[in-house]
């Protein structure tokens, strides 16, 4: 009978952690929220340029940003977040949509996961094989990624034009930088 009053916990194996790509200004905005303390601040890892990866727990009706407090709440280990998030994001990669004007390719994906493609070197390996060489990309929004061949003289001007036209005041806007992949397959500012 008294077990009814015990605190219920979620089994860590059943917790779905998803990645969320953010701009560095996200952490600044979070820190400025009233009542924000280190324990409840979103955990983030640098990715490339001005981009970060954060994590959220899928609670069903909503997503809860992962913080030090939620690690304990959900029984999660900080060093396993990236792996768990990549596992959860893989199904969304199967739904990536691609359009092109012949120079620039646009990627979109279900569940606001387009920018999360940056976490998958194997995805970009395939893109580069299809393109016949290295690509240059922009990640201006969580829902949109644009890329083209790095050796095509038309690519950079086309990507820069898209950046100029993009609304970076949008809540989910990300980076205004151009990115390429280093030989180590890690993204870096172009």
Q: How many domains does the chain have?
A: 2
Same domain, 38 and 102: no
Same domain, 167 and 96: yes
Rounded Cα–Cα distance for residues 48 and 72 (Å): 28
Same domain, 48 and 121: no
Same domain, 85 and 124: no
Pick from 151, 106, 153: nearest CA to 131:
151
Same domain, 142 and 155: yes
Same domain, 8 and 69: yes
Same domain, 76 and 112: no
Q: Please, are residues 82 and 40 in contact by the beta-carbon 8 Å criterion?
A: no
From residue 144, alpha-carbon distances to 59, 113, 114, 162 in Å are 25, 9, 6, 11
pLDDT in the model for residue 2: 43
Report pLDDT digits (tens) over 33-85: 999 999 999 999 999 999 999 999 998 889 999 999 999 999 999 999 999 99
pLDDT in the model for residue 115: 97
Rounded Cα–Cα distance for residues 147 and 130 (Å): 12
Same domain, 161 and 82: no
Alpha helices in the chain (DSSP H): 25-31, 68-74, 81-93, 121-131, 155-165
User: Which of these three, 42, 69, 89, is where a domain ends?
Assistant: 89
pLDDT in the model for residue 94: 87
Rounded Cα–Cα distance for residues 97 and 107 (Å): 6
Same domain, 6 and 79: yes
Same domain, 54 and 21: yes
pLDDT in the model for residue 11: 54
Same domain, 138 and 181: yes
Q: Which two tokens stand for residue 135?
A: 């690509």
User: Which of these three, 26, 57, 89, is where a domain ends?
Assistant: 89
Same domain, 12 and 84: yes
Q: Please, are residues 152 and 103 in contact by the beta-carbon 8 Å criterion?
A: yes
Residue 55 phi, psi (nearest 5) = -135, 150
pLDDT in the model for residue 1: 41
User: 178 is in which domain, residue-wise?
Assistant: 92-189
User: Which of these three, 40, 57, 89, is where a domain ends?
Assistant: 89
Residues of the chain with pLDDT under 50: 1-9
């Amino acid at each position: 009978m008294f077990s009814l009053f015990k605190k219920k916990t979620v089994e860590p194996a059943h917790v779905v952690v998803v990645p969320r790509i953010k701009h560095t200004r996200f952490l600044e905005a979070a820190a400025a929220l009233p009542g924000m303390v280190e324990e409840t601040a979103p955990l983030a890892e640098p990715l490339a340029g001005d981009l970060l990866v954060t994590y959220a727990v899928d609670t069903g009706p909503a997503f809860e940003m992962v913080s030090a407090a939620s690690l304990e709440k959900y029984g999660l280990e900080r060093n396993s977040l990236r792996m768990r998030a990549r596992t959860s994001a893989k199904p969304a990669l199967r739904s990536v949509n691609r359009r092109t004007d012949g120079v620039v390719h646009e990627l979109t994906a279900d569940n606001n996961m387009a920018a999360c493609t940056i976490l998958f070197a194997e995805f970009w390996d395939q893109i580069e094989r299809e393109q016949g060489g290295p690509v240059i990309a922009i990640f201006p929004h969580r829902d949109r990624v644009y890329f083209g061949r790095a050796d095509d003289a038309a690519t950079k001007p086309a990507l820069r034009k898209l950046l100029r036209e993009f609304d970076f005041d949008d809540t989910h806007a990300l980076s205004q930088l151009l990115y390429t992949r280093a030989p180590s397959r890690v993204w870096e500012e172009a």
